[in-house]
Structure 1
Amino acid sequence: MGRISRMFHRGLTASGAVLLAQLGHMLGWLPVCLATGIGCYFSLKWEPGWPLFIWLVLGVLGLVTLARNLPEALSPFVIALALCLIGFILAGVRAHSVAGPVLGWRYYGAVEGRIVAIDRSQSGALRLTLDQLRLDDVPPERTPHRVRISLHGKGPAGITPEPGLRVMITAHLSPPAGPVEPGGFDFQRHAWFARLGAVGYARTPLMGAAAASEGHAGLMVFRIRMAASAHIRKRLAGDTGGFAAAITTGDRSAISPEALQALRVSNLAHLLAISGLHMGLLTGFVFAGLRLLLTLHPVSALRWPTKAIAAVGALIAAAGYLALSGGNVATQRAFIMVAVALAALMIGRRAFSLRAVAVAAFVVLILRPEALMGPGFQMSFAATTALVAVFGWLRGIDQRWLPKWARPVFATVVSSAVAGFATAPIAAAHFNAFAHYGLIANLASVPLMGLFVIPAAVLALLMAPLGLDWIGLAVMGLGLDWILGVAHAVSELEGARGHVVSPGAWVLPLLSLGFLMLILWQGRLRWVGVPAMALSLVLWNEAVRPELLISDTGTLVGVMTPKGRALSKAKGAGFVARNWLENDGTGATQASAAKLWRQGDIVHLSGKRALAGFQGCQAGQIVVASVRADVLTGQPCRVFDPTSLRRTGAVALRKSGEGWRITTARGSAGDRLWTHWPKARSQDQ
């Protein structure tokens, strides 16, 4: 026993010595610990009750007290654990704070509400988000806080949507759908935090129910955004105007699906999102302009703190840009990072450091813990962390061998390559695709964004009161025309887009841990991150897709064949089909996948007529019906129909010995605040 005690003591002493070497570099690990707790909350299959949160709060208080009485070398362990618990608590509190009614059935009828957001769906349809809702025969306590409706009507268009306008429309609404396959993207969770209690579509004209109210400050800013967007699109036609409106006001509704696809395939879609690049370029331009202006007069140049004044001005410009752009999560994240950098300039610290990135990540996770689960947060902070680290390392390298004129070019190439390599695995994991020529497209486009587009946008804003904004917009349009031209040219190259299989649940966490270890840890132990990242890629390469997939309504079935996944229908359930094929890591279309379908041991009965004409099944067969199939009760085959699938959600089957191993969306997602499974549990779960 004494020997074990001595070994334990020596282990603690050695680990304490290692941690002491990290003092001064521990700030970067604080958001990592917070994120670990948040990730644990979202990974649960059950919803923790309030007693657990009370115990966790007491545990945090106890750990903080303990940390104050421990040796300096050991207290970081306790603080890290406390931060993990805090992250768990924050995620739970946030999830409960956005709670609202969710429609529990399919609804068709009149919908009345106030327009609070306007955008477009993936299919290009205009999409409205409404609040202050009224639904026929639905009591207020069961009415969702918000719904989102896509307008698909081909008849009279009705009125033009305006911010704050109260409208009426006849719509089909349904609860937010669960994952299209077990372990897939959970739209129910996304909708819960967006406070969407139902989604749907309408084919009837939009009618006005009341004039646009003054509303709150958010609606006033929304009106200003939409007015600015309309003005820009009046000056710049087509996709150029839509692109300009997107990067200035956040309104993407005027960009064509073809342009969007070209930007995605060429890895230039990030230029549409008002994120760190745009916020950094804007504030950098304003900061440099103000500082140059202040140096023109001897009094201000010699007696005033020009750097701090310019930083304050740039921060005000960033706050205005945040408001004008709509303040979505990506823009909020970018604003926080810029605000931290500008605050560092004001107090005479280095603006861009890993500490600044850590503070920004910490603030974002406190305000919106759910952001951790989205690709926006992951890609933004991966790129920023990698860029700050790489340029920090380059700062210590003598670059006198490089001519002065070549250094900006070198910096542009390095920044585009580093950001691309840092974000490529995350983008591939979430979107199952990567751009082979993305680096070329970014090198040809990103410098133009900084040299022409953003400065021209600022110029247009400054000259707008004089009615001369057309000058800035014209310059801006030329730059955006070039970027769109690059996007179309690159996207049309053979093999411009590659496809990868969807990774397992542990791939991204392991990859992130290795990446953070390599960047944040000081000393030789940092190289442990390299094999961790390599292992994650090996696990990704070994990912195996299910042999059989069944949609949550029974309307689509997908069987893996030697030539790829065969789909039971060439049309219909397009969103599900596209996601299955993307997760398989193929570029197949639904139509081509449907040509591979053959009825055999897997039978799909689509509609009542197909079910009525079915002669019966045999043992070992799997029959999937898109309508209730009570007539097949007692048959020797395995039957999936809407009744059973409603309890389980989408189903994945993998061959195991002589039978099948079944995984359900309900079993993967669990029973959480945002899931809406029937109370009766299925044996398949």
Structure 2
Amino acid sequence: MGVPARSAAERAGRGGPGRAARLRWPPALGLEAQRGHLFPWAPVLLGTGIGGYFLWPGEPSAAIWMVVCALGGVATVRALRRPEATPALAWAVTLFALGMALAGLRAHLVAAPVLGGRYYGPVEGRVVAIDRSASDALRLTLDRVRLIGRPPDAVPARVRIALHGAAAEGPPPVPGGRVMTTAHLAPPGGAAEPGGFDFRRHAWFLRLGGLGYSRVPVLAIAAPEGRWWLGLRLRLAARLRAALPGPAGGFAAAVTTGDRSGVAQATLDDLRASNLAHLLAISGLHMGLLSGFVFGALRLALALVPPLALRLPVRRLSSVGALAAASVYLALSGGNVATERAFVMTAVVLGGLMLDRRAFSLRAVAVAALIVLALRPESLLGPGFQMSFAATTALIAVFGALKDRGGSWRLRWLAPLAGLVISSAVAGLATAPVGAAHFNTLSRYGLIANLLAVPAMGLVVIPGAVLSAVLALVGLEDWGLRLMGLGLRWILWVAQWVAGLSGAQGHVVSPGSAVLPLLALGGLILCLWQGWGRCVGLLPMAVALTLWAGAERPEVLISEDGALVGVMTPEGRALSRASGAGFVAGIWLENDGDGADQAAAAGRWPQGEPAPGLRRAAWSGGKLLQVIGTRGAEKIDDCAGADLLIANVPLPVDGPCQVYDPPRLRALGAVALGPGGRLRRAEVSGGRRLWSPVPGRGGQ
């Protein structure tokens, strides 16, 4: 008998069946069944690496970076040289290492000076953005900044100034123009509480090195320069507000040019309460509706001319026209992060149409996510990225599953209505946990509001805007603006009506740090995994919801400057101040899932101060005493019968009590105390990050 020939698998393994089995072990994990469906996991792995960088305890050292690069290089070589072995796992390591490297590189590339302390004096710069703060104050972002008494290498690349009093009077400055005022500036603050949103990191990637306010009139000292479309955006926004007076004009300017300065806080509150705030931001919905309308209009127009329809690639030409319209929209809107992300996703879809590929697929979403993460790795942490890609992925997965099941509608006229209901419900379910985790609110009637408002955006507002742009060539743009105004007024009415319903907006407690990643993992498994194995995704989602339901809030919260203290009571968190430190107070109450404002929360604080500048309260760890200002500090020479002393001025006290004053809080950041005095600090315990304040750095 002859010796049987070795199988191809054995020959590939070069070591017998055992060796081949070891090299081909991915099928045991179920990866073999996913062949051809693994590419959508690429941005997930890249994002995991990006998240690894931001979660690293301290800035990674040179040795860590060498290890990361070595692992990525070895994995890449392994995947390229032995594709028959473990390519999926090797590429996973490569993408993780690449994501971590991209995030670190981006953090270093955007590095810019940050104020080391408070500054008061003349500020000069070029206006690059105008918006409104949470208190409805007009706000300017300046670049090419000059500060008196500061060398150029110590001046922030950008500063943001809120205008109050005399500074807010008169027309706003012209974008692109150079202005001067006298302002109070301070470095960006850190997280309002441990584990909370780190504004200092957010500002680092925006290159914002100083924040403040001005009550002095803003003087224009130079005409707009540089980018010509800044003036075009300004004129267009002003034209829209003039043609559509009232809230509709501000809404029109926001969705067309990205200028939100004309949107009142009351309008914004109604949109948020009704879950329609996404219609205000120029995002994937607007970019998709615009490009889709232009694509359909061009394709219909070309198809109506038989000589052109028979000789030209109508579909490709329509895609090119739609991409051109999307590019113009990107330029007019100012090109913020959300709009750039929407443009990338739209460009990928239109590129697929030009190449005769399937436009709406999980692969297209993966390509768009890879591009966005490569350009702006920090966007992974923002609610905009998370919500837009969660909605898009869920919609494609659900409609793809419905299409694969086959079947047809018995009543064809119900198909558009069913599609609208399904898409609104799926997008709402996919984004609701993300929105609730970031903003601590839940719109109970958001589905109703979206079903009533989103069709108006697609069928009335966007066509009206395009019609107005076309008719502007012959001076008849008012016809399009009137149509646009009808749709916007309907949307605003829906928002106001839904927001006025009883219990329209609910409040939820902030989840722990593991909840969103677990929800994302479960959702991705449900959408991306093939076969019945996707049901495993329900497990991490159930764990996440269980953790969220059992989330506990700190008993005591201390702001990073010691000026505000919050103590949990049976009625909710009691705040030590009824005004001042409003941003921190709002964050604490939102994270508690408390709908009260700062004044109401301050009413829960025990009444009656023992002396001016002293405020007492009780918690499970004992007695708490807050010391305000030097007058209060003069009355303290020991622990004063308190177990916990908190002060906004240096407090040299000897005694058995715990003291949290500015010298200590500068090292700790905001502080949270749990049962038994368990301490959590906002600053990174393992070391500084690039955006952390430099110890000992002074200010003017």
* Same fold flag (TM > 0.5): yes
Q: Structure 1: how far apart are the matches of 2:83 and 2:254?
A: 53
1:678 corresponds in structure 2 to: 695
Task: Look up the equivalent residue of 1:41 and give its one-letter code.
Answer: Y
Matched position secondary structure for 1:545? coil
Deviations 1:215-273 (A, max 9, x none): 2xxx3222211111111111011210000011111111100000000000000000011
2:508 corresponds in structure 1 to: 500
Question: Residues 168-187 of structure 1: matches in 2 within 5 Å?
Answer: 168-187=180-199
1:196 corresponds in structure 2 to: 208
Q: Structure 2: how far apart are the matches of 1:106 and 1:6?
A: 71
**Kept in 1: contact 2:167–2:214 (CA 8 A):** no
Q: Structure 2: how far apart are the matches of 1:48 and 1:398?
A: 51
Match of residue 666, structure 1, among 683, 690, 699: 683
TM-score (ref. length: structure 1):
0.94
**Kept in 2: contact 1:433–1:498 (CA 8 A):** yes
Are 1:16 and 2:27 matched, yes or no?
A: yes
In 2 relative to 1, CA 558–668 (structure 1 residues): closer, same or farther, beyond 3 Å?
farther
Match of residue 577, structure 1, among 573, 579, 585: 585
Are 1:291 and 2:299 matched, yes or no?
A: yes
Question: Residues 333-348 of structure 1: matches in 2 within 5 Å?
Answer: 333-348=341-356
Deviations 1:39-83 (A, max 9, x none): 000111211234543443343222211112335351110111011
1:646 corresponds in structure 2 to: 666
In 2 relative to 1, CA 157–30 (structure 1 residues): closer, same or farther, beyond 3 Å?
same
1:530 corresponds in structure 2 to: 538
How far residue 465 of structure 1 moved from its aligned partner, in angstroms, is: 2.0
Task: Look up the equivalent residue of 1:162 and give its one-letter code.
Answer: V
1:164 corresponds in structure 2 to: 176
Q: Structure 1: how far apart are the matches of 2:347 and 2:223?
A: 38
1:477 corresponds in structure 2 to: 485
**Kept in 2: contact 1:517–1:528 (CA 8 A):** yes
Match of residue 386, structure 1, among 384, 387, 394: 394
Matched position secondary structure for 2:59? coil
Matched position secondary structure for 1:667? coil
1:332 corresponds in structure 2 to: 340
Q: Structure 2: how far apart are the matches of 1:252 and 1:184?
A: 26
Further displaced range: 18-27 or 410-419: 18-27
**Kept in 1: contact 2:58–2:685 (CA 8 A):** no
CA RMSD of aligned residues (A): 1.9
How far residue 616 of structure 1 moved from its aligned partner, in angstroms, is: 4.6
Are 1:425 and 2:433 matched, yes or no?
A: yes
Deviations 1:424-477 (A, max 9, x none): 000000001110000000000001111100000000111112221111111111
1:683 corresponds in structure 2 to: none
Are 1:86 and 2:98 matched, yes or no?
A: yes
Match of residue 97, structure 1, among 80, 105, 109: 109
Q: Structure 1: how far apart are the matches of 2:75 and 2:188?
A: 40
Task: Look up the equivalent residue of 1:345 and give its one-letter code.
Answer: L
Question: Residues 251-650 of structure 1: matches in 2 within 5 Å?
Answer: 251-598=259-606, 599-600=616-617, 601-614=623-636, 616-618=638-640, 621-630=643-652, 633-650=653-670
Task: Look up the equivalent residue of 1:589 and give its one-letter code.
Answer: D
2:256 corresponds in structure 1 to: 248
How far residue 483 of structure 1 moved from its aligned partner, in angstroms, is: 0.5
How far residue 356 of structure 1 moved from its aligned partner, in angstroms, is: 0.4
**Kept in 2: contact 1:16–1:73 (CA 8 A):** no
Task: Look up the equivalent residue of 2:682 and give its one-letter code.
Answer: A
Q: Structure 2: how far apart are the matches of 1:533 and 1:452?
A: 38
Q: Structure 2: how far apart are the matches of 1:119 and 1:669?
A: 37
**Kept in 1: contact 2:625–2:642 (CA 8 A):** no
Matched position secondary structure for 2:82? coil
Question: Residues 86-165 of structure 1: matches in 2 within 5 Å?
Answer: 86-154=98-166, 157=169, 160-165=172-177
Matched position secondary structure for 2:368? helix
**Kept in 2: contact 1:159–1:206 (CA 8 A):** no
Q: Structure 2: how far apart are the matches of 1:9 and 1:504?
A: 44
1:72 corresponds in structure 2 to: 84
The runs of at least 4 consecutive aligned structure 1 residues that moved more than 6 Å come to 5-12
In 2 relative to 1, CA 353–605 (structure 1 residues): closer, same or farther, beyond 3 Å?
same
TM-score (ref. length: structure 2):
0.92
Matched position secondary structure for 1:572? coil
Further displaced range: 619-628 or 253-262: 619-628
Equivalent pairs counted in the alignment come to 667
In 2 relative to 1, CA 429–11 (structure 1 residues): closer, same or farther, beyond 3 Å?
farther
Identity %: 56
In 2 relative to 1, CA 401–162 (structure 1 residues): closer, same or farther, beyond 3 Å?
closer
Q: Structure 1: how far apart are the matches of 2:458 and 2:446?
A: 18
Task: Look up the equivalent residue of 1:519 and give its one-letter code.
Answer: C
How far residue 609 of structure 1 moved from its aligned partner, in angstroms, is: 2.5
2:6 corresponds in structure 1 to: none
Task: Look up the equivalent residue of 1:47 and give its one-letter code.
Answer: E
In 2 relative to 1, CA 456–222 (structure 1 residues): closer, same or farther, beyond 3 Å?
same
In 2 relative to 1, CA 669–545 (structure 1 residues): closer, same or farther, beyond 3 Å?
farther
Matched position secondary structure for 2:405? coil
Deviations 1:383-418 (A, max 9, x none): 000001111111133453441111100000000000
Deviations 1:605-657 (A, max 9, x none): 22222333457535661111122223xx213322211222122111111123x
Task: Look up the equivalent residue of 1:665 and give its one-letter code.
Answer: A
**Kept in 2: contact 1:565–1:581 (CA 8 A):** yes
Match of residue 72, structure 2, among 56, 60, 65: 60
Matched position secondary structure for 1:21? helix
**Kept in 2: contact 1:112–1:209 (CA 8 A):** no
Matched position secondary structure for 2:125? strand
Matched position secondary structure for 1:29? helix
In 2 relative to 1, CA 574–398 (structure 1 residues): closer, same or farther, beyond 3 Å?
same
Q: Structure 2: how far apart are the matches of 1:669 and 1:453?
A: 51
Matched position secondary structure for 1:571? coil
Q: Structure 2: how far apart are the matches of 1:172 and 1:669?
A: 33
